Amino acid sequence: MGLSELPPVGEALTYKNMLFMARESARAVHADYNTAILSHLLQLFKKGMGTNEHGEQFIIKIGNTDNDARERAALANNWGDIFLLLCIFHVWQAWQNGLNRYLSGVPKGKPRKSVRQQLGKLLMKLLRDVLVYEDAITLYKMEIEYWTSIGRKQDQISQSQAKGALAFLRYLDSYIGSHAFWHSWSPAGAITASQLLGVPVSQIARTNNHLESFNGRIKGKYYKPYQHSGRLPQIDVWILLVVTTVMPDFFKERQEKRQLSDHYTLLRHIDPAKDSDGSMSITIQEKEEETIQEWLAELTNSDSDDDNEEDCRLDPVEDPPSSPFLETSEYHESESSDTSTSISFVEGSVVGKVDEPVK
């Protein structure tokens, strides 16, 4: 768990990091999380931040998390008005896993690929273009009607395609059935976040990949050599490493990345736009648009099996959940969904330009 915001070059950076250590018996760190403990730690953190010159307590306006209900509950317990976004990278990974699982009964090759392409178009529209909840529901129902009609065909391939597609759509209902949950991962949520922070929507990060990458480097590159025989050093060792090694490397690599980005921008554009400090950068929105296009290409060109699923901690269990839009379907089943972890925050009291962190 970490908190960060990256201001323009030359301005102060506020950095906070919370490192959680799971018990040895835990199968994963996120499985050892506890709402009460997380709430207490965040309460202490909030108290430690103190107040500003007007006596106002530290607030967090926007949070970007994956779908761990314990983390989200702990945040809501301490900041009742926080708006929680859901990391679209974790959402997309979960959808890919869902496609792999529910389309496993469709013959490989063209039959399965055509289903992935059809559903992929729907997923991309929902993730990138649809700003109104009612429009999302309309697209969802249209997709159900399409695959229901395909299932009425007599050939075995069409029926297997329809069965797999409708099973996936029942799973997708867990993301689209609730307006509040849809709002957390849709582009409409990014617009709401930009309005709350008073910044352009291009400065709203819809993934927490940058933070997870940074935290992974801290734990793997800097902290791991000090974990002798699995024993954890004292807290003063962590602090010393952050101050003397982690942060200097962070700023050094940040500057190198900015220079490399400027170089590539100059190669692509005759008159590139510049930031307030005179440097050029690609906006978060542009980077995420490129990433989404890569996801779509990977999805539509893939013919992967269940064995290749990613561990995104947003996956469902074996069977798809029931959907109010599919209650009349012959493929009705039931399920409950799992949750996930990892969290990044945007501090509401300090808003600055966001550059690409160290990866």
Per-residue pLDDT of the chain (359 residues), as tens digits, is 444 445 555 555 555 556 566 666 777 666 777 889 889 989 998 888 888 888 888 888 888 888 788 888 999 999 999 999 999 988 998 999 999 999 999 999 999 999 999 999 999 999 999 999 999 999 999 999 999 999 999 999 999 999 999 999 999 999 999 999 999 999 999 999 999 988 888 888 888 877 777 777 777 777 777 776 666 667 788 788 888 888 788 778 877 877 887 777 777 654 444 444 444 444 556 666 666 667 666 665 665 444 444 444 444 334 444 555 554 333 333 333 333 333 334 333 333 333 333 33
| pLDDT at residue 211, rounded to an integer | 75
Name 97's Cβ contacts closer than 8 Å, sequence gap at least 6. 309, 310, 312, 315
Three-state SS sequence of the chain: CEEEECCCCCCCCEEEECCCCCCCCCCCCHHHCCHHHHHHHHHHHHHHHCECCCCCECCEEEEEECCCHHHHHHHHHHCCCCEEEECHHHHHHHHHHHHHHHCCCCCCCHHHHHHHHHHHHHHHHHHHHCCCHHHHHHHHHHHHHHHHHHHCCCCHHHHHHHHHHHHHHHHHHHHHCCHHHHHHHCHHHHHHHHHHHCCCHHHCCCCCHHHHHHHHHHHHHHHHHHCHHHCCCCHHHHHHHHHHHHHHHHHHHHHHHHHHHHHHHHHHCCCCCCCCCCCCCCCHHHHHHHHHHHHHHHHHCCCCCHHHCCCCCCCECCCCCCCCCCCCCCCCCCCCECCCCCEEEEECCCCCCCCCCCC
Residue 191, token pair as written in the block: 């617009």
Residue from 52, 102, 150, 96 nearest 297 by CA: 96
Domain boundaries, the chain: 2-87+185-263+341-347
Query: What six digits make up the tokens of 268?
Result: 């692509």
pLDDT of residue 217: 77
Select from 12, 21, 4 the least CA-distant residue to 63: 4
Give the N- to C-terminal CA distance of the chain in Å, as an integer. 16
* CB 347, CB 100: distance < 8 Å: no
Q: Would you state the pLDDT for residue 214?
A: 74
This prediction has a pTM of: 0.67
pLDDT reported for residue 136: 96
Tokens 């921008």 -> residue: 265
**In angstroms, rounded to a whole number, what is the distance separating the alpha carbons of residues 280 and 262?**
5
Q: Which long-range contacts (CB under 8 A, 24 or more apart) does 268-276 make?
A: 275/8, 275/353, 276/8, 276/353
C-beta neighbour count of 207 within 10 angstroms = 22
Cα 89 from Cα 95, distance rounded (Å): 10
Beta-carbon count within 10 A of 309 CB: 17
Q: Can you give the pLDDT at residue 178?
A: 93
